[in-house]
Amino acid sequence: MQTPYVLYSSNVETFSQEEPQVIQDIIASMRRLNDRTRDMYGRNVRVSHGKSHGLAVGELTVLDNLPEPLAQGLFAQAATYPVIVRLANVPGEITTDAVNTQRGFAVKILGVQGQKIAGHEGQTTQDFVLDSGTTYFPMSNAKAFLMQHRLMEHAPQFPTVLKEAVSTISRVTNEALKAVGTDSAKLDFFGDSRIHPLAEAYYSQVPMRYGSYIVKLAVVPVSAAQQALADAQVEVDGTQDPNALRTATVGYLREQDAEFELRVQLCTDLSSMPIEDASQPWSEAESPYLPVARIWLSRQEAYSEARQQYVEGLSFSVAHSLEDHRPLGSIMRARLQAYPVMATIRRQGNQEPLYEPTSIDQVPA
Ligand code: HEM
């Protein structure tokens, strides 16, 4: 029987002639930002999502008896894999948590067999690198991202008090827009909601291959305790504690387990769910996010001194992928080149080995 889902083929991606140069310009802009923050901190920090709120270990279990369109790639068969999860904040600098931006959720799945994309051959990891906020990205393609990044490149020079003010204005404006039934991904980027990092939903925002099909991906908190935090919109106030988001994350995981559903949204129409324009939301009425796996993080010390050290040597990257989950579209093609280059500069500059974990036992307690 024919499915309503768009089949993946290499033809679903289209490239502009200028794209290779645009991607080199993004990397050059990121290098300049890295030089500046390295001079500020005396070490290299991630040029995006620089501040960690925690590093957790856990398990991902693929659900049993998934129907054929959902049983693809890593999710083709029920299985349990060890995972490493890093929670973080968007800016490529170590801001106070009063500067309120989108949060990141990067998950590294270990022990994954199967054909990897070029550059990741011989490795056994599959990473998914997600953000909170919206199901789509504020910038349509690599060129639009470059324009935005050149502006961001100068942001570390602004005083913190100004960044806090921009963050608050963006958040308040976005709350007002949401009240009238609309919102802006650009404003969310600078003024995200303040709910607990473990009560947020996180989105790939941009598409990837899903075996025979194409999806966007989401990670959604599902335990009763996490849902209670989300329902209550419990605010994490960074004006009192500069590390309030980390305090909240570490405090929660010290006391309780966290559980997330991993869901996928299958592409049903390439014109209304485009691959090359990341700023177009894909209709959830047309194709809802459907569960394919669960991520379980049991109680642990998520930011011990040993883990603080260990997380700096890790790279969570869209370039760590099975061919079956190949990142797609202009934004993803830029990421495929930018993450390996920037993670290499960062780790070599800090005298860290270019290391990819092979066992969960390598993560310190
Ligand atoms: C053209 C667009 C983008 C570029 C060039 C880009 C580039 C980067 C780079 C270079 C890093 C640091 C890598 C490292 O040092 O290890 C990073 C980190 C990160 N990015 Fe992006 N990014 C882009 C879009 C996105 C999108 C669409 C998302 C999510 C929806 C995202 C989420 C993250 C997260 C969560 C991290 C932190 C990963 C970690 O925990 O180590 N980025 N990005």
Question: Which ligand 1 atom is nearest residue 149's CA?
Answer: 5
Residue 272: the pLDDT is 97
For ligand 1, atom 9, the nearest C-alpha belongs to 339
User: 291 C-alpha vs ligand 1 centroid, how far in Å?
Assistant: 24
Does the pLDDT of residue 170 top 70, yes or no?
A: no
Question: Which ligand 1 atom is nearest residue 316's CA?
Answer: 41
As a whole-number percent, the residues of the chain with pLDDT over 90 amount to 79
User: 12 C-alpha vs ligand 1 centroid, how far in Å?
Assistant: 23
Question: Which ligand 1 atom is nearest residue 52's CA?
Answer: 40
Cβ of 334 less than 6 Å from ligand 1: yes
Cβ of 253 less than 6 Å from ligand 1: no
Cβ of 47 less than 6 Å from ligand 1: yes
138-144 mean pLDDT: 97
Q: How far apart are CA 244 and CA 235, in angstroms?
A: 10
330-350 mean pLDDT: 98
pLDDT in tens, 225-248: 999 998 776 667 777 888 999 999
The least confident of 1-15, 39-53, 76-90 is 1-15
Residue in the block written with tokens 């387990």? 257
Residues 315 and 339 sit within 8 Å (Cβ to Cβ): yes
For the chain, give the mean pLDDT: 90
Q: Which long-range contacts (CB under 8 A, 24 or more apart) does 154-160 make?
A: 155/91, 155/93, 156/33, 156/36, 156/37, 156/40, 156/92, 156/93, 157/36, 160/95, 160/96, 160/98, 160/99
Residue 155: the pLDDT is 64
Q: Over the Cα atoms of the chain, what is R_g?
A: 19
Residue 98: the pLDDT is 79
Cβ of 30 less than 6 Å from ligand 1: yes
User: 108 C-alpha vs ligand 1 centroid, how far in Å?
Assistant: 14
What backbone torsions phi and psi does residue 186 show, to the nearest 5 degrees?
-65, -40
Residue 93: the pLDDT is 81
Cβ of 51 less than 6 Å from ligand 1: no
Residue 189: the pLDDT is 45
pLDDT in tens, 289-308: 999 999 999 999 999 999 99
Highest-confidence segment of 116-130, 170-184, 188-202 = 116-130
User: 4 C-alpha vs ligand 1 centroid, how far in Å?
Assistant: 32
Name which residue leads in pLDDT, 186 or 146.
Answer: 146
As a whole-number percent, the residues of the chain with pLDDT over 70 amount to 88
- Greatest CA separation found in the chain? 60
325-343 mean pLDDT: 98
Cβ of 106 less than 6 Å from ligand 1: yes
Residues 123 and 356 sit within 8 Å (Cβ to Cβ): yes
Cβ of 185 less than 6 Å from ligand 1: no
Does the pLDDT of residue 199 top 80, yes or no?
A: yes
In CATH, the number for domain 10-156+192-357 is 2.40.180.10
74-82 mean pLDDT: 98
Does the pLDDT of residue 190 top 50, yes or no?
A: no
The least confident of 167-181, 216-230, 316-330 is 167-181
E strand map for the chain: 51-62, 80-89, 103-110, 125-131, 202-203, 208-210, 213-221, 258-266, 290-297
pLDDT in tens, 246-255: 999 999 999 9
pLDDT in tens, 158-169: 555 555 555 554
Tokens of 9: 């083929």
Cβ of 102 less than 6 Å from ligand 1: no
pLDDT in tens, 33-64: 999 999 999 999 999 999 999 999 999 999 99
For ligand 1, atom 3, the nearest C-alpha belongs to 335
Name which residue leads in pLDDT, 181 or 89.
Answer: 89
DSSP sequence for 3-56? -SSPPP-GGG----TTHHHHHHHHHHHHHHHHHHHHHHHSS---SSS-EEEEEE
Tokens of 85: 């999860």
